[in-house]
A and B are shown apart, each in its own frame.
Chain A
Amino acid sequence: MATLHSRAAARLMITPAVVLLLGWMLIPLGMTVYFSFLRFNLLAPGTESWTGLTNYYFFLTDPSFWDAIRNTLTLVIGVLLITVTGGVLLALLLDQPIWGQGVARVLVIAPFFVMPTVSALIWKNMFMNPVNGLFAFLAKSVGLQPFDFLGQAPMASIILIVSWQWLPFATLILLTALQSLDTEQLEASEMDGAGPLNRFIYIVAPHLARATTVVILILTIFLLSIFAEILVTTNGGPGTATTNLTYLVYTQSLLQFDVGGGSAGGVVAIILANIVAIFLMRMIGKNLDA
């Protein structure tokens, strides 16, 4: 629905956004790929030399890389399990007729707006600290030894913190999806003789399936890049117990100044993220046509 005039104008209007994003994508991405084939250390400037796949070889054979992959997957899957299951249950609960629904909802959503460094530090110090933390007090008051969460179960603790941050997101989206369910559909199924359980299985669950998939995909994109929570709680430790891929690349490049090795890790991270992104984009694309 348009004319040559408006089409020409449209091209002009869209150009700045396209050029900027194209530059943002291509220039650093190209540089990362290029660096990943170089021997390039910031501490020894001017000694860059082509090394082919050596960086990949070292990175992929480094035990800490496989630790990082395992940690990344543990973190992503652990948080997904908690947030998605919790989110579905919480959304179903909040969708029931309750007093003060709006306020309860607001309270549940709140953690999403807390910046990652703040939530990580509050949990680390005020709750999980084995001496003064609230959990230590609770343990002591029932006669147990305080548990050093971040020392003894660092990954589980980080999963807990991150889940607390993202549970609201999952809940909010699933709740929105629930509320968009056509009540006439539910009433029709009731007229057709479906009880509450059957209504959930045949009407509600299929309706939520789509939203759940979206939640899983989007969360995965964000969870693959978890960084600040690790930085301020464990610094990736003890050892490499909480070093995920993002954090490993950070250590290698910005702490050890090994640009080449870090870049190879970056490329691996991009490939991983893209696998998820492809599925997500498909879902969004389908929605665009509708």
Chain B
Amino acid sequence: MGAISLQQVNKAFGETVVIPSIDLEVTDGEFVVFVGPSGCGKSTLLRLIAGLEDVSGGTIKIDGSDATLTPPSKRGLSMVFQSYALYPHMSVRRNIAFPLKMAGLDKDEAMRRVDAAAASLNLTDYLDRRPGQLSGGQRQRVAIGRAIVREPTAFLFDEPLSNLDAALRVNMRLEISELHQQLKTTMIYVTHDQVEAMTLADKIVVLNAGRIEQVGSPLELYREPANLFVAGFIGSPRMNFVSAAAAESHGAHTVGIRPEHLDLSTTAGEWQGKVGVAEHLGSDTFLHVHLDGGGTITARADGEFPVSHGSAIWLTPQADKFHRFDADGNRLP
């Protein structure tokens, strides 16, 4: 079982309030991602759940029992840190076995579990090495190995992929996803990267300035962002926002349209503009279009779209893909 429930959890460092008040339910087996810009309080929230920080108020329940005052070592959670936090003076084997040693597990049983974890993470050949002799991806696996051997109630991940290069990051993302399918254990994952959030999560929690902006499945957030912040944060490239006359014609203060929901034409359309920078990615082309009426809009075209800097272009938003927001930035129905 790995249900975690936060009730009116808040946190202040001295005078600085980092998290005003948060209520959140994480059900057993769920993959929850906390996402938000740096300084939004997502890591602090994770550390509160871990017990590495005390809450200033509120209750944290793990599996229904109050764990607010339980020290981290007794919460039964595992954590994978951004820096991996491997013990540099221990071999990989002893790193992975460390939580089991702390739990006072019998040595043979511990070694059996370490071997099993190492096999599943392709680490068997590296068991006698020190962390310093491993590549970034291997260290990451050791950190995961150390987390899984003790069979925790839930896994906590604190931006685990941010120190890896781009290619490795995609691989590890898949591995973590597979790990979740296999273990079916609750996972809470913190990242500032919305792509990681979208690809991994069952449920995304978007945080901003210590507040929850929206909670929902990746597609809910993509389709129906609750406000301008979420709309701008989820999706890549960012959603385009248009205010003033164009928005008022749709009865909103601001309207948003995603780059992939604009139809392009070199001859005619609703909005006319000139191509600024065209980023050719091969599969797609992202066009930064300077509208004749002022403002810049990003549009996605297919990879072979035949335009270059300075070409005239017409954009037509798909009518049913508009997102409308009021003056406070909240979504209009």
A1-29, CB < 8 A from B: 1-5
Q: Bound state CA distance, A2 and B51, in angstroms? A: 9
CB distance from B73 to the nearest CB of A (A): 9
Q: Bound state CA distance, A5 and B72, in angstroms? A: 10
CB distance from A11 to the nearest CB of B (A): 15
A4/B54 in contact, CB under 8 A = yes
Q: Bound state CA distance, A45 and B54, in angstroms? A: 60
Q: Bound state CA distance, A5 and B53, in angstroms? A: 10
Q: Which residues of B sit under 8 angstroms from A5, Cβ to Cβ?
A: 71
| B85 close to A (CB within 8 Å) | no
B71/A2 in contact, CB under 8 A = no
Q: Which residues of A sit under 8 angstroms from B53, Cβ to Cβ?
A: 1-3
B21-70, CB < 8 A from A: 51-54
How many residue pairs, one in A and one in B, have C-beta atoms under 8 Å apart?
Answer: 11
Q: Bound state CA distance, A4 and B52, in angstroms? A: 10
Q: Which residues of B sit under 8 angstroms from A2, Cβ to Cβ?
A: 53
Q: Bound state CA distance, A3 and B69, in angstroms? A: 10
Select from chain B the residue with minimum beta-carbon distance to A5: B71
Bitwise interface map of B from 283 to 300 toward A, beta carbon under 8 Å scored 1, else 0: 000000000000000000
Select from chain A the residue with minimum beta-carbon distance to B47: A1
Q: Which residues of A sit under 8 angstroms from B54, Cβ to Cβ?
A: 3-4
Q: Bound state CA distance, A3 and B53, in angstroms? A: 5
Select from chain B the residue with minimum beta-carbon distance to A7: B54
CB distance from A9 to the nearest CB of B (A): 10
CB distance from B67 to the nearest CB of A (A): 13
Select from chain A the residue with minimum beta-carbon distance to B54: A3
B180-224, CB < 8 A from A: none
Q: Which residues of B sit under 8 angstroms from A3, Cβ to Cβ?
A: 51-54, 71-72
A1/B71 in contact, CB under 8 A = no
Q: Bound state CA distance, A4 and B56, in angstroms? A: 11
CB distance from A6 to the nearest CB of B (A): 9
Select from chain A the residue with minimum beta-carbon distance to B70: A5
CB distance from A163 to the nearest CB of B (A): 43
Q: Which residues of A sit under 8 angstroms from B72, Cβ to Cβ?
A: 3
Select from chain A the residue with minimum beta-carbon distance to B72: A3
Q: Bound state CA distance, A5 and B54, in angstroms? A: 9
Q: Which residues of A sit under 8 angstroms from B71, Cβ to Cβ?
A: 3, 5
Select from chain B the residue with minimum beta-carbon distance to A2: B53
Select from chain A the residue with minimum beta-carbon distance to B48: A3
Select from chain B the residue with minimum beta-carbon distance to A4: B54
CB distance from A148 to the nearest CB of B (A): 60
Q: Which residues of B sit under 8 angstroms from A1, Cβ to Cβ?
A: 52-53
CB distance from A5 to the nearest CB of B (A): 5
Q: Which residues of B sit under 8 angstroms from A4, Cβ to Cβ?
A: 54
Q: Bound state CA distance, A20 and B268, in angstroms? A: 85
CB distance from B79 to the nearest CB of A (A): 14
Q: Bound state CA distance, A1 and B81, in angstroms? A: 15
CB distance from A1 to the nearest CB of B (A): 7
Select from chain A the residue with minimum beta-carbon distance to B69: A4
CB distance from A140 to the nearest CB of B (A): 62
CB distance from A138 to the nearest CB of B (A): 56
Q: Bound state CA distance, A274 and B53, in angstroms? A: 40
Select from chain A the residue with minimum beta-carbon distance to B55: A3
CB distance from A2 to the nearest CB of B (A): 7
Most buried by B among A2, A3, A4, A5: A3
Q: Bound state CA distance, A191 and B72, in angstroms? A: 54
Q: Bound state CA distance, A3 and B52, in angstroms? A: 6
CB distance from B59 to the nearest CB of A (A): 16
CB distance from A94 to the nearest CB of B (A): 32
Q: Bound state CA distance, A118 and B72, in angstroms? A: 56
Select from chain A the residue with minimum beta-carbon distance to B44: A1
CB distance from A12 to the nearest CB of B (A): 15
Q: Bound state CA distance, A2 and B72, in angstroms? A: 11
Q: Bound state CA distance, A2 and B54, in angstroms? A: 7
CB distance from A27 to the nearest CB of B (A): 36
Bitwise interface map of A from 112 to 146 toward B, beta carbon under 8 Å scored 1, else 0: 00000000000000000000000000000000000
Q: Bound state CA distance, A138 and B294, in angstroms? A: 92
Bitwise interface map of B from 66 to 105 toward A, beta carbon under 8 Å scored 1, else 0: 0000011000000000000000000000000000000000
- 11 pairs from A and B in contact (CB 8 Å cutoff): A1-B52, A1-B53, A2-B53, A3-B51, A3-B52, A3-B53, A3-B54, A3-B71, A3-B72, A4-B54, A5-B71
Please provide the 4 A-B residue pairs with the shortest distance between their CB atoms, ordered closest to farther.
A3-B54, A5-B71, A4-B54, A3-B53
Can you name 4 extra interface pairs (CB under 8 A) apart from A3-B54, A5-B71? A1-B53, A3-B52, A3-B72, A4-B54
